[in-house]
Amino acid sequence: GAPTPNFAAAARFALAEMLHDQGRNQQAASVLAEALESAEKAPLETDVAGRSAEEIRARMHYFLARHHAEAGQPDRQREQLDKALENDPADPDALIAAYELSRGDAEHRQRVLRLVREAAAQLQQFIDNEPEEPTFYNQYAWLVGNTEGDLDKALEYSRKSIALKPEEGGYYDTLAHVYAGRGDYENAVKYQARAAELEPYSGLILSELAAFRKKLEEAKNTRGPAEKEE
């Protein structure tokens, strides 16, 4: 079909996510910058690629933050994360990255946790309004499981998302991270391996599987095997 503005923007968004999955975050950000530049010439509909222009801009800054993190530039990483959260204060990945970066900075940590609580409350409202939509259960579990909050609810919601959509690899990835957040690396490996089966070409999922396996071995060597799921 003709490369309409929304069609081109959706294609760029998909390409950017693929580049991010390969660890090419600076290139991913450049692709989204092109999409936003094009949008200034031909305005996008608010639901292009399922995201608003502000959410796409937040994603671009998140990719740049990841690039600076990998380059060992924490100050520039924080600058990009702040910009991401200015555009979309509820972006789960930006909140998780900001939470991790805030270690040792109590004031920054409290600011990030306030945004995490607000985002979790918003997701809870979405769940209440659409109880059969798996996306919101997964997003709640991903956010809380990787930061702070009700880990029992995060586990419940992650399982609920899988019950609603059992062949979604990303949902098993979330479940694995919730278990990791609870210190249960045996189940983290189990469910991350399932995610890798469903999405065998995902660089992010495979790298996390390797990381969880390493954590599991460390746990066995220091504290014994993690408790298995009942």
Give 87-132 pLDDT, tens digit per residue.
999 999 999 999 999 999 999 999 999 999 999 999 999 999 999 9
Q: pTM to 2 decimals?
A: 0.88
Residue 173 CA, chain-centre distance (Å), reads 10
Instruction: Name the least confident of 48-52, 141-145, 196-200, 209-213.
Output: 48-52
Q: Write the CA distances from 116 to 109, 143, 189, integer angstroms.
A: 10, 8, 26
Mean pLDDT of the chain: 91
* Ramachandran sector of residue 17 (left: φ over 0; alpha: ψ -120 to 50; beta: rest): alpha
- Could you tell me if 216 and 186 are in contact, meaning their C-beta atoms sit under 8 angstroms apart? yes
Local confidence band at 143 (pLDDT 50, 70, 90 cut-offs): very high
The answer to whether residue 41 scores a pLDDT higher than 70 is no
pLDDT at 9 (0 to 100)? 77
Using 50, 70 and 90 to split pLDDT, how confident is the model at 226? very low
Q: Which residues of 46-73 are buried (b: 16+ CB within 10 A; e: fewer)?
A: eebbebbbebbbbbbbbbbbbbbbeeee
- The amino acid present at 178, given as its one-letter code, is V
pLDDT on residue 49: 58
Structure confidence at residue 48 (pLDDT)? 55
d(CA 155, CA 212): 17
- pLDDT at position 36, please? 83
